[in-house]
Chains A and B, each alone.
Chain A
Amino acid sequence: MAKSDAEVKVLGTWASPFVMRVRIALNIKSVAYEFLQERLWEGKSELLLKSNPVHRKVPVLIHGDDTICESLIIVQYIDEVWPSAPILPSDPHERATARFWAAYLDDKWFPSLRAIGMAEGEDVRKAAIGQVEEGLMLLEEAFGKCSQGQAFFGKDQIGYLDITFGCFLGWLRVTEKMSGIKLLNEINTPALLKWANRFCNDAAVKDLMPETEKLAEFAKMLRGRVRATPTS
């Protein structure tokens, strides 16, 4: 049996943007998989702890006897095992650019988005919003360069950077709703605003993008639990 025919499982949660990346990648490749829902607020499952002992986080991809962790590493793995409908560009320089912005999103941009929701004090909140907006302007410019006039960062199809960034749209919309600020807007990020709609309507994405209302409720519940947890 070819490796690509072995059973595929995804361990994750509906609310996690990182898990969504993996599921979109599998959808793009038309690969069937079993989704194992973790209930993280009830404690981590045996399977999670066993398959990701280093980080104990979702997503985890289980492919036959192999487990792969870290969403962007999983997406690249999926792209390499199932080479049809490529996710990463073929040109090495374009690949490096896609990887650069994906790392920026994970290491700088998303933490600053989360910081808005967790900010205690108006000054801290304003600073966090400023950082997110600054990041979005950089990404607007990157979109112009990567898309070369086409619909997506990946040009005519959704690709690595679309998936990396697009999966944060749910949480971006929740943050907009809770802060009352349109972070993606006509004035500063007109191209990204249109791209966001196209991304969410893509066939590989639309059944996976959580509803903003549902996600906002979930965020409130999470925040309640975090605040209730006693700290030493």
Chain B
Amino acid sequence: MAESNVKVLGTWASPFVMRVKIALHLKSVRYEDVEEDLLAPKSELLLKSNPVYKKIPVFFHAHNPICESLIILQYIDEVWTTSASTILPSDPYERSQSRFWAAYVDDKFFPALRRLVIGATEEDKKAALAEVVEGTVVLEGAFGELSKGKAFFGGDNIGFVDIALGSLLGWIEVIGKQCETKLVSEAKTPRLVQWADCFSAHEAVKDVLPDVDKLADFGLKLRAKILKALAPTN
């Protein structure tokens, strides 16, 4: 039974929603899963609980909505402190490094990935692809620094950066197939390739990993919807 008043408003396909669920699994917190259909008009609940951005995930705890996945992750880490699993490290410098790289994933890496999908011209897509590949190389370096020889960015266990980047792996695979390239490649990023396997097999992750074919199909429908919204109107 879900812990009283813990709810996640989201969708199976969203990496940002996946982050929240992984965090809750790590903390062994049960929750109610409320599915938002991204292909349909936005629900009343979404519009009411996230009026500023109107986006998922929205996390509800004791009736209070919290928005923005990385903010939700920190909230979960700060509320459920008795769990053996911590999401952010305890050392302030290491925390700042984790925050820095998670922000890099959201502010630099993910936008490039998005541009690869919705790029208008071949040139745009080529530029976006170069940025994405460069991003993976930068993240390979970050992995070396943060993991200190262990399996995850968080060390022995998955942490903030693992969750931030790992949640994108499904989409990275789908988009890579569309571009006929391995975006996270053995040649350029061997450590990330290994890390991706470890992450995907983790207890807290494997049940929320989306099926790649199902994601690809969904992706096509979502892309059509986004492009339609971006198209200039007369």
Q: When chains A and B are docked, how far (Å) is the Cα of A81 from the Cα of B74?
A: 18
Taking CB as reference atom, which chain B residue is nearest A77?
A: B96
Bound Cα distance A74, B96 (Å): 7
| Chain A hits for B79, CB < 8 A | 92
Query: Once bound together, how far apart are the Cα atoms of A96 and B104, in whole Å?
Result: 20
Q: Which residues in B have their C-beta under 8 angstroms from that of A99?
A: 68, 71, 74
Which of the 9-residue segments A30-38, A62-70, A172-180 touches chain B? A62-70
B residues near A100, Cβ cutoff 8 Å: 66-68, 71
Number of A-B contacts (CB under 8 A): 53
Give, as a whole number of angstroms, the nearest-CB distance from A166 to chain B.
20
Contact B71 A103 (CB under 8 A): yes
User: Please, which residues of chain A bring their CB within 8 A of the CB of B40?
Assistant: none
- Among the listed B52, B67, B78, B100, which residue makes an inter-chain contact with A73, where contact means beta carbons less than 8 Å apart? B100
What would 7 A/B residue contacts be, using CB atoms closer than 8 Å?
A63-B93, A70-B99, A73-B99, A76-B95, A99-B68, A103-B71, A138-B52
User: Do most interface residues of chain A lie in helix, strand or loop, or is the interface mixed?
Assistant: helix
How many A residues are at the interface, by size bracket? 20 to 34
- Give the residue of A66, A95, A104, A138 whose beta carbon is less than 8 angstroms from that of B93: A66
Could you tell me the distance in whole angstroms from the C-beta of B29 to the nearest C-beta in chain A? 14
Chain B residues within 8 Å of A96, by CB: 66, 71-72, 74-75
Residues of A with C-beta under 8 A to B75: 92-93, 95-96
A156 within 8 A of B: no
Interface size on B, residues (CB 8 A): 21
Q: Which residues of A contact B (CB under 8 A)?
A: 3, 54, 63, 66, 68-70, 73-74, 76-77, 80-81, 92-93, 95-96, 99-100, 103-104, 138
Question: Which residues of B have CB within 8 Å of A138?
Answer: 52
The B contact surface, by secondary structure, is helix
A73-B103, A95-B78 given. 15 additional CB < 8 A pairs? A54-B104, A54-B138, A68-B93, A70-B100, A73-B99, A76-B99, A77-B92, A77-B95, A80-B92, A81-B92, A95-B74, A96-B72, A96-B75, A100-B66, A100-B68
Q: Is B5 among interface residues, defined by CB-CB distance under 8 A?
A: no
Return chain A residues, CB-CB under 8 Å to B96.
68, 73-74, 76-77
A73 to B99, CA, bound (A): 7
Give Cα distance in the complex from A69 to B74, angstroms.
19
The CA-CA distance from A138 to B78 in the complex, in Å, is 26
Given contacts A73-B100, A92-B79, A100-B67, contact A80 B95 (CB under 8 A): yes
- A101 vs chain B, min Cβ distance (A): 9
